[in-house]
Amino acid sequence: MKTMAVAALGLALGMMTTGTVRADSFGSGANTFVVDFVDVGNAGNANDAGAGGGSYSTPFGGVGYSYRISTFEISQDAITKATNLGMMNVTAGAHTGDKPAAATSWYEAAAFVNWLNTSKGYQAAYNLSFSSGWSMTLWGASEQATTGVDSGTNGYRHKDAYYFLPSEDEWYKSAYHQNDGVTANYWDYATGSNSIPTAVASGTTAGTAVFNGQSAPAEVNQAGGLSSYGTMGQNGNVWEWTESAVDGTNNAPAESRTIRGGYWGNTDLFLSSSFRNLDSPAFLDNSVGFRVASVPEPSTVALMILAGGCLVWHRRTSRR
């Protein structure tokens, strides 16, 4: 009994730390794939105090809630398997296998996220439609999320969606925040450092990224060193769509979206936290891919309750 209580407590406390929360599984049989997530805590951290000027218009990175973000960029393999299982009108295909899904428009990335949700019985994140091409309608006022926007409500994201594209702040925080509590402390690069990453073709060595004239992207799990929160490839490999409109309000369906992180051919300028790109949600290029985010599960509060329950149970059984 004592061993069981200690094991349960250890599991609960271990899951409360920052790192891979779990791998969410999708599909079935030969078309099964997983998306690994890391937990991004420090809810209520401040925006990057150094942001401003240059390519910036406003500071970024402050997020008032906990969430999860995928450890890696979404791979072409995941797109292929989802398509085999019925997802429609998401072409991707610039690369193969475990290399990143690219030549993917924002709409296609959003459609993949919708498939992740509906394949598990969750609410679709985005109100998309397809007729010779993709378009999107804002959710009604009672359906709009209050997360993922600078203020007000998020007309792009449904309030009940479980998976979604990371907002620019969510993306920026997981890439550059120093993971040192509710602070305004940020790194210049998404490798947990203010030093320019070392350019590599592939690998997982700390402080490296796939950029600076490489000939192609690496596989998503070989895309360089990790950020402070444990994500890979938020610098280099491929550019990544964020959910956010350029002005952060998400109240105009066709407005340009922000793109972050640089790609395998860029110089270090494009990798830095101070660089911001944008394009139409219909834009696609073999250098642009994406990753996904999710609500936190299990929540820290639930785990603390579980941990406390395990301790109480252990004390009671120890007295017998």
pLDDT category, 317, cuts 50, 70, 90? very low
Give the per-residue pLDDT at 297: 77
As to burial, measured by CB atoms within 10 angstroms (0-12 exposed, 13-18 middle, 19+ buried), residue 215 is exposed
Please state the pTM of the whole predicted model: 0.88
Coil, strand or helix at 144: strand
What number is the average pLDDT over the span 77-101?
A: 97
Which amino acid would we find at residue 190?
Answer: A
Question: For the segment 17-56, what is each residue's pLDDT rounded down to a tens digit?
Answer: 445 668 999 999 999 999 999 999 999 999 998 875 555 5
Evaluate if residue 319 carries a pLDDT over 60. no
How many whole angstroms separate alpha carbon 268 and alpha carbon 211?
Answer: 8
Question: For the segment 259-280, what is each residue's pLDDT rounded down to a tens digit?
Answer: 999 999 999 999 999 999 999 9
Mean pLDDT of the chain: 89
As given in the structure block, the two tokens for residue 160 are 């009940």
Contact 148, 167 (CB under 8 A): yes
pLDDT category, 6, cuts 50, 70, 90? very low
Listing DSSP states for 240-308 in one string gives EEEEEETTS----TTS-EEEES--TT--GGGTSTT--EEE-TT---TTEE---EE--SS-HHHHHHHHH
Question: For the segment 122-144, what is each residue's pLDDT rounded down to a tens digit?
Answer: 999 999 999 999 999 999 999 99
Evaluate if residue 89 carries a pLDDT over 70. yes
How many whole angstroms separate alpha carbon 174 and alpha carbon 66?
Answer: 11
Give the per-residue pLDDT at 57: 53
What number is the average pLDDT over the span 105-124?
A: 98
CATH topology of domain 49-58+66-297: paralog of FGE (formylglycine-generating enzyme) (3.90.1580)
